[in-house]
Chain A
């Protein structure tokens, strides 16, 4: 075991994993994190806490993870390289390890331009692939980036993102291979709506045997409204929402119900794809729906490992 996290045990045990996402509040109410934690606790194997997603200031992922950990949840600490340099990142990793956080997700982060402090100085001291490499070395060799020794262990299960829907498409699998080379243990993909493209990407992943080297969790976003479907289709770089999904949402009597149905259908299809090891449900501002999606997609009960 690299970290002994619940997520690692689920995946190495050959189970189909379910992870979900918890967006921390724009404020100090730990209760809001706990409420989401209690809601999702039995419906996922690990729970990501986002790190100032879309560059909007929120409670830190680190503290959100600690709050969840206290509820007996296995948190995934998201870490973007946008806001911290190598000194701050390594320091937070030491603290996270000391407080029992066992999973980390290494990300570039949405550009600060999108957030609520667009004048901020972006850090980008290292990139997400270099971050994976750094965490792996901290864990496996107990060395800081500069080669100095770390006292104590850094047991972290290392995750990263992959986006099969961004360009250049042919480079997307190469980039995944690069992340594997850097030492990533699991991948959470961008939300999948364009199944045809995801299947093509997975075929390339399998051709290179990469599905045997990393655990791939497919990203799912339940769509809450027609507006959300249209917005994602038009405005979110790196998310592809095919026309037929937007049309289905538009024509549905009950858009929310249709959104749930679509999410469940996508999960059902994903379960059949060779080389996919789980799903990552990102119910942005709609956490309440996750238990139902997980249940109706036939992913309950979650295994105890």
Chain B
């Protein structure tokens, strides 16, 4: 899923400073699961902004609402009748949600309350880590199911660099060297010979370097 975290409160207050009527818009998708932009976080952020505005003598009217998903026009349609009442919509969705919102409502100020971080999951309560870089051409079949593009600091394709020590990455001892993990896994699976093959240069045009990406499924389009 998409992992996000709330922007520093100062930044949010500054972003919303000139708006009097604000819709804080949560999302019940990924950001609810990672506790960044669900109903609960919408409420908390609403309280913070109200308190700040009251303290500074700047009145504000805040409406709180949380949609099933913001990355889906079907749910964004639900705002159609009320959207003009607001000076700004402060979206607590990931960047995808903010973009969909802005695309849908061109005359509305759409602001992000979150920093969208990565595609990953929760390793343990309160800890999230990256797993996929969305490179568009999956090589996990060659690397024991763990991804060097997302999880090697240098995105290397052909084994660990000279900075891999005791299973840790040279960039930060908190980061596991993913090539050590790939090595250990392939050894266990008796597939170490896979590492002797030189992985060819990657086609980044299907990743984020070929312009914004799009998928059209003829079998599904109406």
Residues of A in contact with B (beta carbons under 8 Å apart): 82, 86, 108-111, 113-114, 122, 124-130, 133-134, 145, 161-163, 165-168, 171, 174-175, 177-178, 181-182, 190, 237-238
B201:A161 contact, CB within 8 angstroms: no
B105 within 8 A of partner (CB): no
Give the residues in chain A near B166, CB-CB below 8 Å: 167
11 further A-B contacts with Cβ under 8 Å, apart from A110-B163, A124-B154, A128-B158, are: A124-B155, A124-B156, A128-B161, A134-B201, A166-B161, A167-B160, A168-B184, A177-B196, A178-B159, A190-B162, A238-B170
Looking at the complex, which one of A110, A133, A145, A162 makes contact with B198 (CB distance below 8 Å)? A133
Give the residues in chain B near A177, CB-CB below 8 Å: 196
B35 within 8 A of partner (CB): no
Closest partner residue, chain B, to A164 (CB atom): B162
Closest partner residue, chain A, to B148 (CB atom): A127
Give the residues in chain B near A161, CB-CB below 8 Å: 162
Give the residues in chain A near B199, CB-CB below 8 Å: 130
A168:B164 contact, CB within 8 angstroms: yes
7 contacts between A and B (CB under 8 A): A126-B201, A128-B158, A129-B158, A129-B198, A166-B162, A175-B158, A237-B165
Question: Would you call the interface of chain B mostly helix, strand, loop, or mixed?
Answer: loop
CA distance A82 to B171 in the complex (A): 14
B165:A166 contact, CB within 8 angstroms: yes
Q: Provide the B195-222 mask, 1 if CB < 8 A to any CB of A, else 0.
A: 1101111101000000000000000000
Give the residues in chain B near A127, CB-CB below 8 Å: 154-158
A168:B160 contact, CB within 8 angstroms: yes
A167-B177, A174-B196 as given contacts; A111 in contact with B167, CB under 8 Å: no
CA distance A167 to B192 in the complex (A): 15
Q: Provide the B79-107 mask, 1 if CB < 8 A to any CB of A, else 0.
A: 00000000000000000000000000000
Looking at the complex, which one of A124, A181, A182, A238 makes contact with B162 (CB distance below 8 Å)? A238
B180 within 8 A of partner (CB): yes
Q: Provide the B169-196 mask, 1 if CB < 8 A to any CB of A, else 0.
A: 0111000010010011000000010011
A111:B154 contact, CB within 8 angstroms: yes
Size of B's binding interface in residues, CB under 8 A: 32
Give the residues in chain B near A238, CB-CB below 8 Å: 162-165, 170
Q: Provide the B18-55 mask, 1 if CB < 8 A to any CB of A, else 0.
A: 00000000000000000000000000000000000000
Give the residues in chain B near A110, CB-CB below 8 Å: 163, 170
Looking at the complex, which one of B170, B183, B201, B204 makes contact with A171 (CB distance below 8 Å)? B183
A111-B153, A167-B177, A238-B170 as given contacts; A125 in contact with B204, CB under 8 Å: yes
Give the residues in chain B near A129, CB-CB below 8 Å: 157-159, 198
Closest partner residue, chain B, to A145 (CB atom): B201
The 8 closest A-B pairs by CB, nearest first: A163-B162, A237-B170, A129-B158, A237-B163, A238-B162, A127-B156, A124-B155, A166-B162
A167:B201 contact, CB within 8 angstroms: no
A82-B154, A167-B180, A168-B180 as given contacts; A113 in contact with B171, CB under 8 Å: yes
Centre residue among A110, A171, A238 by max chain B CB count within 10 A: A171
Nearest chain A CB to B208 CB, angstrom units:
12
Per the 8 Å Cβ criterion, residues 50-87 of B in contact with A are: none
B154:A108 contact, CB within 8 angstroms: yes
CA distance A190 to B171 in the complex (A): 18
CA distance A153 to B127 in the complex (A): 54
Nearest chain A CB to B143 CB, angstrom units:
13
Nearest chain A CB to B83 CB, angstrom units:
36
Closest partner residue, chain B, to A238 (CB atom): B162
A178:B154 contact, CB within 8 angstroms: no
CA distance A177 to B192 in the complex (A): 14
Nearest chain B CB to A14 CB, angstrom units:
28
Give the residues in chain A near B204, CB-CB below 8 Å: 125
B183:A168 contact, CB within 8 angstroms: yes
CA distance A129 to B197 in the complex (A): 11
Nearest chain A CB to B116 CB, angstrom units:
17
Give the residues in chain A near B167, CB-CB below 8 Å: 167
Give the residues in chain A near B192, CB-CB below 8 Å: 174
